[in-house]
Each structure stands twice: as structure tokens, then as C-alpha cells.
Amino acid sequence: MKAVAIALLSAAALGAAPSYDIADILTASTAADTRAKDWKPGQGLALEVSGMDWTADGRLALCIRKGEVWLLDGVLAPRPDKVGFKLFASGLHEPLGLLRDGKDLLVTQRTETTRLRDTDGDGVADEYLTAGAGWNVSGAYHGYAYGPKRDGRGDLWVTLNVDMGDHSDNKAPWRGWGGIIGKDGRFVPMAAGMRSPCGLGTNREGDMFCVDQQGTWIPTTPIYHLRKGAFFLNPEGIASEKLPDSPLRLSAKIPEKRPYPEAVRALPEMRPPAVWMPYNKMGRSGTDLVTCDAGGKFGPFDGQMFVAEFTDAKISRVFMEKVGGEYQGACFPFVGGFASGIVRLTFAPDGSLMVGMTSRGWSSLGTKAYGLQRLRYNGNVPFAIKEMRARPDGFELVFTKPVDRARAADVASYRMSSYTLLYSGAYGSDEILTAPNPVTSAVVAADGLSVRLKVGALRELHIHELHADGVKSEAGEPLDHADAYYTLNRIPQN
Amino acid sequence: MRAAALILLAVASASAAPVVTGFERFHAAAPTAEGGRLLYNELGCVNCHGGDTGLPAQRGPALATVSQRAQGEWLRKFIADPQSVHPGAVMPQVLTKADERTLVAIEHYLASLGPRTKVKPADIRHVNASRGSGLYHSLGCVACHAPDKAFVPDGGAPKDSEFTHASVPFPDLRAKYSLESLSAFLQDPLKVRPDGRMPRIAMENQDAIDIAGHLLAFEGSDGRVGPWVTPATVDRELAITGRKAVIAARCAACHELPKDAAATPVALGRKEGGCLDSAHAKGPRYALTDAQRSSLKLFLAARDKAADPKLAADLTLQALNCVACHERDGKGGPDGARKAFFEGDHNLGDTGRYPPPLTGVGGKLRPEWLAKVLDGENRVRPYLRTRMPVYGKATDGLARLLGVADARPALKFEGGDDSAGRKLLGTEGGAGCITCHRWGDRPSLGIQGPDISNMAARLQEGWLRDYLINPAGYRPGTLMPSFWPGGKSFNPAILGGDTDRQIAAIFKFAESANGEPEGFPKNRNGEFEIVPKDRPVVQRAFMEDVGVRAILVGFPTGVHLAYDGEKGGPARAWKGRFFDAYLTWFSRFPIFEKPLGAQVVNWPKSSGRFLGYRLDSKGNPTFIAEQAGVRVEETFEGVGEGLRRTVVWKPTPDFAPVIHHPAGLEFAENPGSAAGRRVFTYLWK
């Protein structure tokens, strides 16, 4: 075990006590264990975490990119220096998701979802049964498969990248689609238009969400609400809509090179992401999302989502609400400084957050080759914008602690602007059509925990960026992060 | 379709205004003296009236070879009225009296300048116009010229509204050129246009022929080569008459001609009328637009004021249309329509497709490096399909000029610990630059970004430091993250986390050329060979000739199996070494694996539905598949020099599983085999 590292939050730098700390379970001792010239298979464990869940007996099961599943004991000890590692399964083909199903584990490899069973009770899998298959794999490096994750109805969801590079074949079945595993184990396509839909997860209501990554046709990291018949952004794999199982047929041409709101209006099947995470401001490549249900043990954010990010090795926070029957909401910076590119998140039974990482193949500010860390809440309530809700004439901000009333009631404490993105086949997009949104009044609630902002020039389908730098808590603390980004797909009627 | 597009261009305008794209794109909207300066140079005003524009000389094409290049009939029409056969040409109408006799006389004079002996053009046997179209639309030609509407780039056809600046117009190419003369021109335009306004893109002879075939609207792949250009047989009397007309028209002001046809300068007395007046009868006639005329007047009012280096540099880049491909200070670069034609390496995002911005380029590149870029020597972005052309003497001194125009505060790294640089560049505790950047001839570990081993020869220190702190500030759209965000180092453990010292160390390491950054694999193939020792080893992978659902089983007995998880049956087996898993386990770009051993045998394709496998206590696999709805299990075990295969199913009278065997291998069915359980042994001798 290495020393317990303390993450310095921005609040900490400004004098408030930190609210979270990062503990190492196992990170690469050199930054490139798996590439070191003296590294050999079987010598040391290259913990390139690509999937995590908890076993029935409280061990952390994780799969790694090399194709193994490990069971870890003792990761929740106050000082995790006696973690036990046991190899449960091996020989898999780059598994990128793991889920417990009763006594079994499900992993999704490149070509199938596989049920791993230990039938003789020796603690090692002896059955590797195909639990779900039916998508094409061309051999292109980018043809990744993710999942499974179970939604509130019990369906298991899997998502599939579009191909890139040699052997690419996005016309073959279901690249860029997400779907569920049918009763007979066949892939049942549900939603199309994704590029690299790396992270699946449900909210408290059991609805399934997925975080994709900025790239061709994806102007910045989006979070989709997955459901039958939805088309999101990337049309590279749309040819599969013609297959008999397709739940979707686009009724108009792809509206290329148009501002995103125009594109959505031109293509009826296109569903806006519930949340856009602006490029650089909120990281670059979203990789996973998980909903907090820790009963306060992870701070005042129960019911919210936490989103993993690869390039900046950080975690963001997302608040969603339903407006007009559809999800939309805001994202907020949360905690950075992790050891490697984050790929997987899962909450532990004790309310801490397990963070699984690998940065092989892409650059990350987390320069270690891989790792497993644990983010713990220490009970110091951060002063944060907990929720940002859309109102017919502005926004309502809910804070984690009472605000300094005078500052919070001063419109000069806030600055807002809105913008959208260009929908095109290019790689990413700049922010376009940016315009200021005047904050004309700020009314603090009697309990000091919320503020009603009246904001001018609201625009549907635009991202509304807030800077509340002037707001302080009653005790004079600055916000942990003063910026927030609300994806205003719809302005509520009341 | 292609022919139609070309004809459309040719008839665009009978009395078109000259097109100087740099002017039309950046100055036409609001007349300024700067725009006027560009026109004064590019329309050749300076060639008669003198003055120093600060811009590279704009000269007419070589006339000594024009008779070998252009058809006589076209040439006569062009001389009589350039806009009639080349709308948008910058050459003014210079003949006051364009009767047929004068035109023929000029044609003979020009033919008399050519080589005495007739050169028979090289025999072109074949032209592939569709290939030429592909080259024309990807090498960079369409950055300046109009793309062909019939050509649809991968990303879809651009909309007309996305063309936001004028294309450099063509003459009626089929009337002017032969296939031979156009392809010779395309291969080295600088021979004809030493002023670099049509630069040279490096290409093979056949590339030029195919592009010419496309431009001349040949069929897709055509053995026909069309008419030659045949120069007139010179009549001496006519040639002398022609020379007089050429002297009178002052052709030598712009064109290279013998001394006996020299043109004298024309003093510039007025700032109105003359060439600026579209109705004037004497001298060259330009059909100027109002914006062009106003800009020229503004410039003439302040003609004696020299251009400062920044203005001279900016206008030079516009005159040569460098800004067709490159953005500078937020202006220029391909417009929305032309972007569709820029191709490259998808993995590098926009930076993998579009040429780099030239904002501050004189403060970025070392002048000696930049000069070699302009000379066509130094190229660092092999993934761009567009090719940076060469402009000949037009860019003499441009590197120096840009260096002055874009100068930034000098920074010289002091000291610099090159061993720390090796670490910082590498993946073992460093920033992992080699994850995305090539280092000399070593490919990077991931995406193949530009080679950075040359950074000390290429980049200025101050720029490098500022760039590393904020890459996106210098290259919008770059995938490169900052490892020194806001000037704060990602790694406080190296050189005390001092940003300047760390960057200096990187620079010094590159300068020292003393080895390579940490983390490049030695030849990894061979280091990840799986050697089954006590138990069988199962590993799924992509395997050549088996497919993407290959389940590889290595047996300690030395014969190994690849089971096809797609078709639900054994696919191949081999003897000797098993396989090396490096690419499957650790490359971002996995490939189809090959057996390491020999005596490879293949089974015919099966047609079962694969359901999974289980491992027994010794690690032997039993594969489960359905055949015609019946569950069939087959177990493989290693035996000395071979494999034992046991096929088990629940016997019924109307079902027997299909059991294939590999060709070219001895096998035997074991005694005791029966319906419901058949056992085979395969032996490698």
C-alpha cells in the first residue's frame, strides 16, 4: 500500500476544509508497468480497470483490459494495505464492463456478453457461457462493446462503438447502437447514433443513461437517456436501421453542418442529450456514470450522477430534472487529481466511490498507467450549487448550505451566457451562437438554501453557462466550484 | 457531368473582373489601402508604374514556350480579350487594335521565341481521369480552384452556400491545352509561372497526367490522348510585325522577353483615370469592380509609404493564397465547403485533416527550419492528404519576413537536464508525449501525431514553452492536453515541479539527440508469448483465417487449437509454439493473430450456434454448441503429439451431429466410439 493521497479541492486552496480524499488501492508503481520492458505476463497485476461490481459476499470484482477478472478483499479497510487479489477468470477479449447477476458475473467482451460461473465452489470460474451476442465485430480496434447494466425493468443494456481504422465496417449490424439482451440471448437494438458510448448507468427511477465522447458528429461529451427508437448524434452506423430488428427509421436526411437546435428540429427521431458537458470546461472524454444512493455517506448529493472523465482524470457531478416529460439538467465540476484516465466508477456499500483507471492508448493528465483508487467523503459539507433547476423565466439554484443573503441577492454575483454547438461530421465543435443572458433579479429563499434567478434571453436547446463567483455561504466560504452548465432543452411552462 | 461543370466555368462572364482571391476574400467588402496594395502588386500595376509593394513580384507566364503549351486559336483569342476565354484572368486587355492579322503576327513572334528544333512530346499511353479526379480533390488543388460538383467527398457534398470565397478561375482548358502540355504544366508550374502564383505540388508524372485527364474531361480511364499543341511554323516577316505589336503593348513589363522587345516604365502622374477608368481608350484595360477601383485609389494616395513587416507578411500570404489552407490570426483557412475535401488521419481529429494555422508562425518555427518548409524539404505531418506546395522564388525571404513580423520575446533555455527530459517525454513517470507523438522513425504508442524528435531544430524556445502550457490556445481543436495547465506542472517530483526547467529539459533532450524517451517497447513481439506449462491456457483473440471470435487453447503437450466461437466448431490447430499475445493484450490497435507454430491444419467451417465453454479441473475446455437445436458438447485434450476430441450429445434416432475433420492430418476414431459419444484422436507426425 502506498501513502494515502489527499486531493486538494479548489475550496481547500481558498481556506475551506476539503470534503473528499483519494486513497490508493493499487496504482501502477511505474507509470507504465504494462509497457515496461521487464514486465512479463503473470508478474504483477496490471490493474487496467475496465469494469467493477460487488460480489454477494462483499468483494470487489473487477475486470481488466488484458482479459482477466479479479476478486479483491479488504479494499474498504481504513488503510487498504492488506488487499487480497484472487484471479477469478481469464482469457477474455478486452472486457469493458462487469455486472453481478446473482452468484454469477456478467462481462461484455468484444464479441459477446459472457456469464461467468463458479459451479464447483473453488472460487474460480469454470463456465464461460454466452449470455448475449448478435452484433458484428469487424476486427477494427475501435469496435468496443460496453455493459451490461440493468435498468429498472430488469433489462440488461449493452452499447457498441462505431468502428474506426483498419477493418472498419460500420454498415455491419449495430455499430454505434445500444440495446438490450433478449430472452434468447440475442442483442435487441434499441437506440442508435452513438460513437463511443463508454459508460452506462441508471438513475434512481431505473431509467438507463449513457455517456458518449466528443469526436466525429459528437460536438462534446453528451449524456443520453437511452430508450427504444431514439437516435442521438452519430450517423456512421445508421445503415443498420434497415435491418428487420431495427426499432427506428430516420424520416429525414441527416441535417449536416447545422447548429444543433436546427438539426434537432429537422430530424424528428433525434433526441437531445439530457446533458451536454462543454469541452475542456468539463473535461474531454466522458467514460462512465453512476448514481449516488449513499444515504448521505457521500455528501449531500444523493440521487445525483457522477460522471468519470478520461483525459483530465476527473469526476463531474450531474443534476437532472424532468421538464415536459424529458430529462435535462446541469453539470458541475467535482473532483480531479486521479492517478490515471478514469474508465469506471462504482459506489461501495460504505458510500465511498471506487475509481477504476487505465490510460493505455490515450493521453491523460493522470499519468500512471492504471490504477484503482477510492474517493471518500470526510463529513465536511462542501459549499456547492447542489441543484440548478430551470424555471419559466430563469433558474433556481439550490445550495448545500445557507448563503450569505446580501451577496446571493445581488445580481452582480452572477454571470450567464448561452451557446450551442455545430452538428457536423467534423471532430468536435466550438461553442457557437454565444450570447449573454442578463440576470435581472435574484431572490433568496427564507431558509437561505435557494435562490431564484430571473434570467433574460433564455434559449431552448442551448447550453446555459453560469458563473456565480460572487456567492458565498453564510459562513463566508466561496463555492467549491462557481461554474455550472445547464442544458436547456426545454423551458418549463410553469 | 464533369464536362458540363467546366463549360459552366468558361461561360461565367464575358467581361469579368480580374479575380485576386486574397483581395476578394479579405478586402473586397470594405476598400482599404491594404487591399489596394495587394491589387497594385497582383494586377501587375507595379510592373509598369514601379514602386515597392513589399510583396513578391507578380510576373506573367513564360512566353518562350507558350506556343508549345497553348493552342494557337485559344492564344489569339486570349491576347485579343483575356476575359473572353479566361474569365477572371488578371491579364488586362492590352491590344488597342486586335485585328486578326496582328494576332497572327503576335502568334508567330511568340513561336519564334521557342526552341528551334521541334520536340515531339512524350507518348502518353494511358490516362485515368477518375484517379485524377481523386487526386485533384485531395492533394490541395481545390483549396484554390473550384471542386467538381460530380465529386462527392466522404463527408457528403458541400452546399453552395458554404463556398464563402471565390475560386481561382480556369481558362477554357480544353481549348487551351493538350493533355501532354497540361500535364507537363501541372507537374512543374514554376517552369511556366516562376512567380509562384500557381505553386508546385510534388507528384509523379502519372499523377499529373491523370489530373490533366480529369480537368480536360476525359472518360474515367481512357487510352485516347487528344490533339497535340502544334506551334505555328514561323513566318519571319509576320514575326517582326508581331514583335512591334508586343513592344507597343508593353508585354515585357510583365513577361520575360528578349531585350529587343523591352518595355519602358510608365510614370504614374495621376491617381484617377488611366487604367482605373474602365472607359479609357489607351493602355491596358481592366474591368475593375468598384471595390477594386476604390482600394487602388486609397493605396495610390499613400503609395510612398512602405509596408511594415506584419502587413507585408500578411499580404504575401494572401497574394500566394497560403491562407486558402492555413488560418492566420483567425482569418482564412478552408471555408465550410472546402473543408470537406481535406482528408487525413481520423484519429488526430481536425488537426489530422487541416494544415496548421500560421498565426505567429514566424515566432514558432526557427527561420532556418521555416525556410526549408518553404523549399519543400521539411515536412512533419505525413498524415495530411493535402501536400504543402513549393512557391519558388516568391517565398525567398518569406521566412525572414515572418520572423520579423511575428517576433516574440526571445527566450533561451539555460542549462537543461536532458536526462530529466528523457523521463518527461516518456511514459515511465513523464508526460507520455510518445503516447501520441512519433519520435524519429519510432511510431508512437497510440495515435500517430507529428514527430517531435526534431523540436529543437524546428521550434523556438519561447513558443514551445507557451504552447505546452496551453496547447489549445495555439492550435484550436488539438487533441493535445496540457501537462502544465496554467503553468503548473503535472509532476512535482521531476526538477522540483519547475515548469520552465521541465520544458527546458525536454528541449535539451531533443537537442542532444541522445537516444529516445523512456517507454518505447523494445521489439515486444516474442516477449508475450504464451507458453502453456502445467495446464491448458485459453485466450480469446482475433485470429487470421479463423475470425473475430477465435478461442485459442494452448496445450502443454504442444499442439494447439483455435475454436471458432462464431460458427461453433473447431477451426484450426497447429504444432509447436502457441501464440504471442502482445497485440491482443497491450496494443491499442489489436491485429489478427497468427499461430507461432507450424503444421497448421484447418477444419471446414462449422454451422452450429455457440453457447459457451467450461473448463474441467485440469483446465481442458468443453465447447458447447447447438446443431439443429440439439446441444452438442465437445471436449479437447492434449495427448502426445496430438489432440483428443470427444463429441457428446443426447442420442436420438433422427439426429447425428455434423463432425468435420481437418484436411491433411491423420486421425482415428477411438474404439468404443458410439452414437452419443464419439472420440477422435488427431496426430501430428
DSSP per position, A334-352? EE---SB-EEEEEE-TTS-
Contact B629/A at CB under 8 A: no
Hey, which residues 83-122 in chain A have their CB within 8 Å of chain B?
90-94, 109-112, 114-115, 119-120
How big is the A-B interface in CB pairs under 8 Å?
152
Dist. CA A255–CA A257, nearest whole Å = 7
The partner residue sitting opposite A361, judged by closest CB among B446, B483, B542, is: B446
Burial class (CB in 10 A: 0-12, 13-18, 19+), B154: exposed
Grade residue A163 by pLDDT with cuts at 50, 70 and 90: very high
Which backbone phi and psi does B176 adopt, to 5 degrees?
-90, -45
The partner residue sitting opposite B521, judged by closest CB among A30, A35, A138, is: A35
Grade residue A250 by pLDDT with cuts at 50, 70 and 90: very high
Dist. CA B482–CA A284, nearest whole Å = 12
Say whether A112 and B446 touch across the interface (CB within 8 A). no
- Mean model confidence pLDDT for chain B: 89
Dist. CA B215–CA A422, nearest whole Å = 34
| Full set of structural domains in chain A with CATH | 10-34+45-377 (2.120.10.30), 385-488 (2.60.40.1220)
User: Mind telling me how many Å the CA of B673 is from chain A's nearest CA?
Assistant: 26
Residue B685 has pLDDT above 60, yes or no: yes
Say whether A425 and B155 touch across the interface (CB within 8 A). yes
User: Residues B303-350: pLDDT tens digits?
Assistant: 889 999 999 999 999 999 999 999 999 999 999 899 999 999 888 888
The partner residue sitting opposite B428, judged by closest CB among A36, A112, A115, is: A36
CA B507 to chain centroid: 28
User: Residues B92-134: pLDDT tens digits?
Assistant: 998 877 889 999 999 999 999 987 666 565 667 788 899 999 9
Share of chain B above pLDDT 90, in %: 69
The partner residue sitting opposite A129, judged by closest CB among B480, B612, B616, is: B612
User: Residues B65-80: pLDDT tens digits?
Assistant: 999 899 999 999 999 9
Q: What is the pLDDT of residue B6?
A: 36
State mean pLDDT over A19-37.
69
Hey, which residues 487-546 in chain B have their CB within 8 Å of chain A?
490-491, 519, 521-522, 527-528, 530, 537-542
Contact B236/A at CB under 8 A: no
Dist. CA B134–CA B348, nearest whole Å = 22
Residue A252: CB atoms within 10 A of its CB come to 10
Say whether B519 and A32 touch across the interface (CB within 8 A). yes
- H or E stretch including A159? strand A156-160
Q: What is the pLDDT of residue B226?
A: 65
Say whether B585 and A92 touch across the interface (CB within 8 A). no
The partner residue sitting opposite A256, judged by closest CB among B156, B538, B610, is: B156
Grade residue A29 by pLDDT with cuts at 50, 70 and 90: low
Give the count of alpha carbons within 13 A of A177, CB side only: 30
State mean pLDDT over A395-422.
98
The owner of cell 505567429 is B360
Say whether A91 and B539 touch across the interface (CB within 8 A). yes
DSSP per position, A187-222? EEEEEB--S---EEEE-TT--EEEE-BSBBTB-SEE
Which backbone phi and psi does B395 adopt, to 5 degrees?
-105, 10
Say whether B589 and A141 touch across the interface (CB within 8 A). yes
Residue A30 has pLDDT above 70, yes or no: no
Residue A7 has pLDDT above 60, yes or no: no
Dist. CA B270–CA A374, nearest whole Å = 81
| Full set of structural domains in chain B with CATH | 344-384+408-520 (1.10.760), 529-683 (no CATH)
8-state DSSP, A294: S
CA B265 to chain centroid: 43
User: Residues A297-309: pLDDT tens digits?
Assistant: 999 999 999 999 9
Among the listed ranges A305-309, A314-318, B9-13, which one has the minimum average pLDDT value? B9-13
Is A112 in contact with A124 (CB distance < 8 Å)?
Answer: no
Residue B121: CB atoms within 10 A of its CB come to 16
Say whether B584 and A115 touch across the interface (CB within 8 A). no
State mean pLDDT over B287-299.
94
Q: Positive or negative, the Cα torsion across B113, B119, B121, B122? A: negative
The owner of cell 431558509 is A447
User: Mind telling me how many Å the CA of B410 is from chain A's nearest CA?
Assistant: 29
